[in-house]
Chain A
Amino acid sequence: MEDFWIEAIELTQSVIDGLLFGSTYALIGIGFTLIFGAMHKLNMTYAAASIAGAYVGLVVFVFFSAHPLLVFAVSSLASGLIGLLVYLICFRFIPVNNHLAALMATVGALFFIDEVIIHITNASPLAFPALFGAASFDLGAVWIRGDLLFVFAASVASTAALLYVLYRTRLGLATRAVSQQNVAAQLCGIDVHRTNATTFVVAGLLGGIAGAMTAASVGVLSPLLTLPITVKGLIVTVVGGLGSIPGAIIAGLMVGAAENVFLYLRGVNERDIYVLLLLFVFLVFRPNGIFGKSINRD
């Protein structure tokens, strides 16, 4: 009986840690889903751009000893700017119906960003500041990491801001119009390129926060982060349903929690196999994601 309770507490703790860490996955997932929703295209550069944003934030921290909040803000802005650049070099001048070329261009940009980071830092891991890094909340048997709680709060806040922009502003209306009916939107006088560019900037701003949050919750920033985050982001996007922001949030938390539980139960060598099987289950039984409607889109 004693064992059972210890086990139950351990599991609960694993789930809590995983859920909170999953909020960084959720932020990346939202970015992917936003861009996919707007352009029906995959932006493979996204996670790398988010990490690159965090590196710019780190520059401010290292050279000007800025407050972590400012570091996050700079990361976000930098990533937004990179998002704009990525749009310009990977999407703007490539024919709209050529999905492969745009995808490949973003892969090229991914290599480029990764390699630039590697060259500047010699690929060395660098310490990244956390907000409330020392804080923690004890809830009886389990405890909650203060910095992750902040990450979680920041994810919720940025998502709320994003939803506000999408559903309460003219810009959001334009974005949704373009994503749903590209040609019709153009006929209504919406500048599709500008709207798409704005989407990339908004997604980039969000990605910068995600990158900084990831770096803050690990405590170190390294180019090793980009590939796993890209994969996690894609998984979250699919599990959450393409284009669904609430889906991406739930999926992010879910993937984070599942990862930690499988790690606890089965060890690290098998952990990812189970997470991927979970993804297969979703692909087979709920191909439209958590909140996906069963529309057959052509």
Chain B
Amino acid sequence: MEFYFGLAQIIGIHVILGLSAYVLMLTGQLSLAQAGFFAIGAYSAGILTVLFQFHIVPALIIASLVAGLFAFLIGFPALRVRGLMLVVATIAFSEVVRLFFFNLSWRKTIDGIEAGPDSTNGFREIRFFAANGWEPYQVTLFVWLFVALVMFLIWWSDRARSGAVLRAVGEDELAAHSVGINITAVKVAAMTAGGMIAGIGGALYAHTATYVDHLTFTILLGTFAIAYPILGGLRSVFGTLLAVVLIQGVLVEGLRALGDWRNILFGVIIILTMNLKPGGLFDTQTVQALRKGLAFRDKGAPNA
């Protein structure tokens, strides 16, 4: 079972990462900065629990706020540009964050051992869970508590006016501006929310992996963050969930038996999906079909 709990933790954390990009993508912005926010969350929470002996919950909240703060600050200059320029600007941000942690060495002696981030050697011994006797199922539940919370918040706000506002900005900025939406505020808010969510994900990641170094947070991670919502489709948060389960659960884990060929298959599947379902797995048609299908069952009569 331990393996499935571990897998569920990985899936949960990647869902959070994907959703952090999802929020911003609703407004039509493509950000590769999520790896940076994720790193800020991971290191902040790790530093708090390891060097300052915080409990995981306050550490997680603070990490999320710190990541959100950076997202807020970077939001203003970064969101002046869009499209490819934004992609490159956010890559640059995420790389600067990574290089910061690459250069960061902050060691303290805790309980007789030296602990803390140590530049290239990474940040070891982030063992809050194991050291406090958390069973794997408890850790998994803890991770999924946050997954559920984040998913619920996004799902709920997507059904309310806020979701429509975010999507309106994504569909047509000029029109949205003309109907009285403060574009900058909405985008920066989305960026901040995305940063906070990624911060939570990073904090959870650092504690389940027990070790982070700067190489964890490369552009590749940022690419995965946007890959989940794109593959899953931007019509529903469940698309992101499905994409993570497919990639982390099926491709990375389930097909491990394929060994060498698995990663090649990975690229092929992405290409095929995008050609067959450019809007993602949960695109407009699928979502409508699902809704109608479910409605059909509820009411027992076709919904004209």
Q: Give the B-binding residues of A (Cβ under 8 A).
A: 36, 40, 42, 89-90, 93-95, 98-105, 107-113, 115-116, 118-119, 227, 231, 234-235, 237-238, 242, 269-270, 272-273, 276-277, 279-280, 283-284, 287, 298
Contact = CB atoms under 8 A, between A and B. Distances in A.
Interface string B258-282: 0010011011111100110011100
A109 B92 contact: no
A105 B275 CA distance: 8
Secondary structure call for the B interface: helix
Interface residues of B, number: 43
B85 A238 contact: yes
Interface stretch (B49-57, B61-69, B161-169, B223-231): B223-231
Interface of B: 25, 30, 77, 80-81, 83-85, 87-89, 91-92, 95-96, 99-100, 102-103, 174, 218-220, 223, 226-227, 230-231, 234, 260, 263-264, 266-271, 274-275, 278-280
Contacts of A102: 274
A108 B270 contact: yes
A115 B267 contact: yes
Contacts of A101: 230, 274, 278-280
Contacts of A90: 271, 274
Secondary structure call for the A interface: helix
Contact of A108 (B88, B234, B271): B271
Given A94-B278, A273-B96, A280-B89, A36 B267 contact: no
Contacts of A108: 266-271, 274
Nearest to B87: A42
The 5 closest A-B pairs by CB, nearest first: A112-B267, A108-B270, A101-B278, A111-B267, A105-B274
Contacts of B99: 269-270, 272-273, 276
A124 to B, nearest CB: 15
Nearest to B231: A104
29 contacts: A40-B83, A42-B84, A94-B274, A98-B278, A99-B83, A100-B30, A101-B274, A101-B280, A102-B274, A104-B270, A105-B275, A107-B227, A108-B268, A108-B269, A108-B270, A108-B271, A108-B274, A111-B266, A111-B267, A111-B270, A227-B220, A231-B91, A242-B84, A242-B85, A269-B99, A269-B103, A273-B100, A279-B88, A283-B92
A277 B99 CA distance: 12
A150 B99 CA distance: 33
A227 B103 contact: no
B231 A234 contact: no
Contacts of B227: 104, 107
Contacts of A237: 84, 88
